[in-house]
Amino acid sequence: MTTRDEAAREAAALSEQLHKHAHLYYVLDAPELPDAEYDKLFQRLQAIEAEFPDLRTPDSPTQRVGGKVLEGFVKVRHKVPMLSIRTETDISPGGASAFDARVRRELGLAEDGPQVEYVCELKFDGLAMNLRYENGVLVQAATRGDGEVGEEVTQNIRTVRDIPLRLNGKAPPVVEVRGEVYMKRADFDALNERQREKIAAGQKNEKVFVNPRNAAAGAVRQLDPAIAAARPLSFFAYGLGEVTPASEGGPDFPTQFDWLQQFDAWGFPVAKQTARARGAIELIAFHENIGRQRDALPYDIDGVVYKVDSLELQRQLGFVSREPRWAVAHKYPAQEQLTEVLGIEVQVGRTGKLTPVAKLAPVFVGGVTVTNATLHNEDEARRKDVRVGDQVIVRRAGDVIPEVVGVVPESLAKPEGERGPLFTMPRQCPVCGSEALREEGEVDYRCTGGLFCGAQRKEAILHFAARRAVDVDGLGDKLVEQLVDANLIRTLPDLYRLGFTTLAGLDRMAEKSAKNLVDALEASKKTTLPRFLFGLGIRHVGESTAKDLAKHFGKLDAIMDASEEQLLEVNDVGPVVAQSLRTFFDQPHNREVVEQLRACGLTWEEGEPAARAPKPLAGLTFVITGTLPTLSRDVAKDKLESAGAKVAGSVSKKTNYLVAGEEAGSKLDKARELGVSVIDEAGMLEILANGVPS
């Protein structure tokens, strides 16, 4: 039987190990211990604390899992006010120069005097937090509030894995470290994906979050710490609150940069982009450099912060209107703004994808004036409930296409009759009138017009003429654009009706080039069935599939007339590919294009159909959920469909197997409820290799 003294020694050792490995994993991104081994240590510490509750300390790693539900937040008065930093209104490089000039003027420095040294930091788009440590142990966390009084959120902050519960090394009796609680974009996207699954499963009171900042702030202000623990929050340290003075044994650092290095030594994450700068020129260089990196950062920032590095100079400069004279926030163009939806139109892409686009009242966002923003697809437009007349949040980051992030609550609160109708994707292509279809498991509608649709014309011609298709040498994108814009080519057969005189009359087209193209078109008429089939640009039909189809059926007419069941007998052809082929050849105008190409003289050798190969997983239905260890969902889906299985998007009584990866959500619960067999990636590969176990 373990004595209390033995348990205390073991608990202390386990706590030390767990703190070390958590810091390596969450802060340094350099794990040394497999997750399973970490879990064993953690569970052993939990067991000891359960047997000896008095050994459970506030800085124990087990305290990150969340405590009891709170009735409300306690108000906390900050010992040192959390003051705001002035924002430089000039977002150009001149903003940095203006700040440096103000600092020099306040310090009485001559124009030819020494350069002022600064610390340059990132301005995170999160929630400011004050962390109070006493004798190195986290005892209190509080929000900024109004700067004087905030709310205590200690239980929730304990769940943030990269905030140390106990400082590394020697710590002063009291120190308050300030920084930003935020959410990485990838974590935010994963959180929203889980939220969508919960909503689809019918769970009430769940919602999709508008942006990472709102998600982070909402997590911190949960009365139930278990909810906060389930949210993927992160932290960066950048400032100091109360600290034991040097005269009483506290640290004595002369610069802001020295303090940031101390934060790092204590175990806090400090943004690696933080740098020192001398004078306005280096401030400008930092602002421009971070601006170029901004969209590639794994988290949101809305600017940078300049601080005079010397703490003595900071004291000399002091404050004005409760803002420090020694610091400024130099922002970038806003990436989100409010505007009104004037209409919703549908655009047809070069591959036939239909995309709803919100027509907006002009708004300056992300450095440009935006009048259009994508709604991505019908599901997203309906999920966000975007309607004509709504006030919406529009986001544009870098060169990314502007998107509607969400509708403001005031618009959502309007009575149903006062808002426009809910968006529904048209069932006909707005360009050519062909049927618009949405394949099973897909989120996008696509025009079935293919070779006939004007929106897809240039892409269809370039694809058909590509080297791996019928190979029309010399027919590049600029020439195709010229031919289509001049209305000389409307469909693929028009290529073969181009004469020398027409081509030679084009701008920048010499007679020799015109003759070479005529010769190339003539040479391309003799092709192969796989090349011709691939050149038609049928969705999901690549070179390999085209070869398999040609080998299996032998003749083009047999492919065009094959049923979905017959197509599924082809190697590597699953339900999605079979449906795509059937949809393409069911369109009369696509068949007409094929016949006209034949009439233009395109020929290929045809043969007898190949012997039929069995499909071992025919008749079985699989569903894939979560993140698989080595395969993407698309690759896993292709493997299953190639073996004859059907891969569905939701679990039902007809599902035979659920392939579950990490963070499998509501689909896993549904499968267990219905008694569906649950397998992992290894189990799926075993079935693909050896068939269904008897």
Concatenated DSSP letters of 219-258: HHT-SSHHHHHTS--EEEEEEEEEE--GGGT----SBHHH
Q: Can you tell me which residue has the tokens 């609150």?
A: 241
The predicted model gives 98-122 an average pLDDT of 94
- Active-site residue among 20, 40, 68, 123? 123
Residue 179 has pLDDT above 70, yes or no: yes
Rounded Cα–Cα distance for residues 456 and 593 (Å) = 14
Report, in this order, helix, strand and coil percent for the chain, each rounded to 5.
40, 20, 40
| Half-sphere CA count of 623, side-chain side, radius 13 A | 24
Q: For a pLDDT cut of 90, what percent of the chain falls above it?
A: 45
pLDDT (0 to 100) of residue 477: 82
φ, ψ (nearest 5 deg) of residue 265: -65, -35
φ, ψ (nearest 5 deg) of residue 521: -65, -40
pLDDT (0 to 100) of residue 73: 84
CA dihedral (404, 406, 408, 413) positive or negative: positive
Rounded Cα–Cα distance for residues 525 and 532 (Å) = 10
pLDDT (0 to 100) of residue 157: 92
- Tens of pLDDT along 18-37? 877 766 655 555 666 665 67
Rounded Cα–Cα distance for residues 597 and 496 (Å) = 8
The predicted model gives 613-617 an average pLDDT of 76
Q: 3-state class of 293 per DSSP?
A: helix
**Pairwise pLDDT comparison (265 vs 13), residue with the higher score:** 265
Rounded Cα–Cα distance for residues 185 and 189 (Å) = 6
38-52, 195-209, 348-362, 407-421: range with highest mean pLDDT: 348-362
Q: Measured over all CA atoms, what is the biggest interatomic distance in the chain, rounded to whole angstroms?
A: 100
The predicted model gives 196-209 an average pLDDT of 78
- Tens of pLDDT along 206-263? 777 877 888 888 888 888 888 888 888 999 999 999 999 988 988 989 999 999 999 9
The predicted model gives 167-182 an average pLDDT of 95
The predicted model gives 114-128 an average pLDDT of 94
Rounded Cα–Cα distance for residues 439 and 37 (Å) = 44
Joined together, the tokens standing for residue 389 give 């007349």
Domains and CATH numbers, the chain: 4-65 (1.10.287.610), 87-331 (3.30.470.30), 336-418 (2.40.50.140), 450-599 (1.10.150.20), 621-690 (3.40.50.10190)
Nearest to 385 by CA among 437, 359, 424: 424
pLDDT (0 to 100) of residue 631: 87
Nearest to 155 by CA among 134, 137, 141, 135: 141
Q: How many CB atoms lie within 10 A of CB 484?
A: 17
pLDDT (0 to 100) of residue 64: 59
Residue 561 has pLDDT above 90, yes or no: yes
pLDDT (0 to 100) of residue 351: 79
pLDDT (0 to 100) of residue 327: 95
Q: For a pLDDT cut of 70, what percent of the chain falls above it?
A: 94
Rounded to the nearest 5 degrees, what angle is found at the Cα of 58, between the Cα atoms of 57 and 59?
90
The predicted model gives 629-651 an average pLDDT of 84
Q: 3-state class of 66 per DSSP?
A: coil
- Tens of pLDDT along 578-610? 988 998 999 888 899 999 999 999 999 998 887
The predicted model gives 170-174 an average pLDDT of 94
The number of angstroms, rounded, from the C-alpha of 170 to the middle of its chain's C-alpha atoms is 40
pLDDT (0 to 100) of residue 399: 58
Joined together, the tokens standing for residue 68 give 């009891």
Residue 341 has pLDDT above 50, yes or no: yes
Rounded Cα–Cα distance for residues 217 and 608 (Å) = 66
Joined together, the tokens standing for residue 64 give 């990150």
The predicted model gives 318-330 an average pLDDT of 88
Strand partners, 455: none
Q: 3-state class of 281 per DSSP?
A: helix
Nearest to 182 by CA among 114, 124, 107, 137: 124
Nearest to 8 by CA among 58, 43, 48: 48
Residue 612 has pLDDT above 50, yes or no: yes
Residue 183 banded pLDDT, cuts 50, 70, 90: very high
Instruction: Judge whether 123 counts as a catalytic residue.
Output: yes
Residue 264 has pLDDT above 80, yes or no: yes
Q: Are 509 and 446 in contact (CB under 8 A)?
A: no
Strand partners, 117: 278
Residue 484 banded pLDDT, cuts 50, 70, 90: confident
pLDDT (0 to 100) of residue 71: 64
The predicted model gives 161-188 an average pLDDT of 93
Is the pTM of the predicted complex or chain greater than 0.95? no
- Tens of pLDDT along 46-98? 788 878 888 887 777 776 554 454 567 889 999 999 888 888 878 888 899 99
Joined together, the tokens standing for residue 298 give 């794994």
The predicted model gives 441-453 an average pLDDT of 82
Q: Are 238 and 179 in contact (CB under 8 A)?
A: yes
Nearest to 480 by CA among 456, 459, 505: 459
Residue 639 has pLDDT above 80, yes or no: yes
Rounded Cα–Cα distance for residues 267 and 163 (Å) = 8
Mean pLDDT, all residues of the chain:
87
pLDDT (0 to 100) of residue 67: 47
